[in-house]
Copies of this chain bind each other. A is one copy, B any other.
Amino acid sequence: MTKKKLNLKSAIQKQFRSQRQIGKAPGTITYMGNREDGTYAITVIDYSDNLFDFQTLTRVEDALAFKEQVNVTWFNVYGLSNEKEIDKLGNYFNINPLVLEDIVNTNQRPKIDEYDDYVFATLKMLYLNKDYEISTEHCAIILSEHNVLLFQEIELDVFEGVRDRIKNKFGRIRTRQADYLFFALIDAIIDQYFVVTENIAAKIDLLEEEVYNHPSQETAEKIQRLKKEVLSVRKWVVPVKDLVNRIIESEHPLVTKETKLFLRDALDHSIQINENIQLYRELITNLMEVYMTNMSNKMNEVMKVLTIIATIFIPLTFIAGIYGMNFKNMPELESEYGYFYVLGIMFLILIVMIIYFKRKRWF
């Protein structure tokens, strides 16, 4: 409607990542992330109640041997930029191209899709890295009859606990089917969300302390950055509630009633995560208001000091100015005690003003 335009050309005259997919047929595997160093590896954990096997696959073809067995097999794929290998793997496991496209689409929002032979889920791992910053990593999981395929971009992940439980036969995981492993991976991801939200809560506490006790100009920027961090966490975490809920309500034969009990526990956690995030947003808004009020009150205080100084001294200076004039005929100047009278009047004005300001509660 207005004719002026945003003068942002240089920044936007670039190739956008989403343009990689323009004109391609749906189901074309197009890696959307930044980790294009060619990393690609597959590890396999094969287990049943009394069997545990760990291997690193050298060829995708070796996966087939595990695929048909009755043992639960966890295929773990690291690196998603090698589109050809992903395609090959997808063909071996008979995965729909639309799913393969979503596996390597790091912008894909968390969701679950059911197919005849398998269930596909994609969500984000959020965890604190060794610098205690929030890391976000793409993750895709496929549950088929005796297998779980897990796709991730880098080696770091949140599944060490699950691997330990399988290896060391902790809990019930070794006695259960693939759907329990599928749940256990999602549960491990959600458990880390609590750490992330607790980290956010700790930052809110810190900033609250800063706002109340030693606010500075940087405090506002910190609050706003935290708000933005919460927004970006929310983006990946909030849809997980629907994801879990949809597995529970699904009637897919691969998801057993026993596992659904555990999924309900995970649903419970993801509801709580959502509520926490909503609460944090309100606390941050609250905090920003406290900050603004503080700043505004300080400003008021500064203004009062200025006004008091000006109100007291400007009239006095004017009086001094009067008797600094050089008129020939100024009777007061000749008076013997004129100077002292004027000083007295000035003192009187000072007193009256101080009383006036006290009454107005200016200090």
Q: Name A residues whose Cβ lies closer than 8 Å to a Cβ of B.
A: 1-2, 4-9, 11-14, 16-19, 21-28, 96, 98, 101-102, 107-109, 111, 113, 128, 131-133, 158, 160-162, 164-165, 170-173, 184, 187-188, 191-192, 194-195, 197-199, 202-209, 212, 217, 220-222, 224-229, 231, 235, 239, 261-262, 264-266, 268, 271-272, 275, 279, 282-283, 286, 288-300, 302-307, 309-311, 313-318, 320-330, 332-339, 342-343, 362
A224 lies within 8 A of B289 (CB): yes
Question: What number of copies of this chain does the assembly contain?
Answer: 5
Asked if A295 meets B295 with Cβ closer than 8 Å, knowing A224-B286, A226-B6, A325-B323, the reply is: no
- Cβ–Cβ < 8 Å partners of A315 in chain B: 309, 313
A-B residue pairs in contact (CB < 8 Å), sample of 18:
A1-B204, A4-B212, A6-B222, A9-B131, A9-B132, A11-B202, A11-B205, A25-B173, A109-B272, A212-B221, A217-B297, A231-B283, A292-B293, A306-B306, A313-B317, A317-B321, A323-B325, A324-B325
B18 lies within 8 A of A198 (CB): yes
B221 lies within 8 A of A132 (CB): no
- Cβ–Cβ < 8 Å partners of A4 in chain B: 212, 221, 225
> How far is it, in angstroms, between the C-alpha of A222 and the C-alpha of B6 when the chains are bound?
6
A314 lies within 8 A of B311 (CB): no
- Cβ–Cβ < 8 Å partners of A207 in chain B: 8
- Which chain B residue lies CB-closest to A334? B328
* Chain A residues touching B, majority SS: helix
> How far is it, in angstroms, between the C-alpha of A305 and the C-alpha of B305 when the chains are bound?
12
> How far is it, in angstroms, between the C-alpha of A305 and the C-alpha of B9 when the chains are bound?
34
> How far is it, in angstroms, between the C-alpha of A253 and the C-alpha of B271 when the chains are bound?
27
- Cβ–Cβ < 8 Å partners of A294 in chain B: 220
Q: How far is the CB of A246 from chain B (nearest CB, A)?
A: 13
- Cβ–Cβ < 8 Å partners of A303 in chain B: 299, 302-303, 306-307
Asked if A191 meets B132 with Cβ closer than 8 Å, knowing A199-B16, A314-B314, the reply is: no
Contact residue among B212, B321, B322 (Cβ-Cβ distance under 8 Å from A2): B212
- Which chain B residue lies CB-closest to A287? B224
- Cβ–Cβ < 8 Å partners of A302 in chain B: 300, 303-304, 307, 362
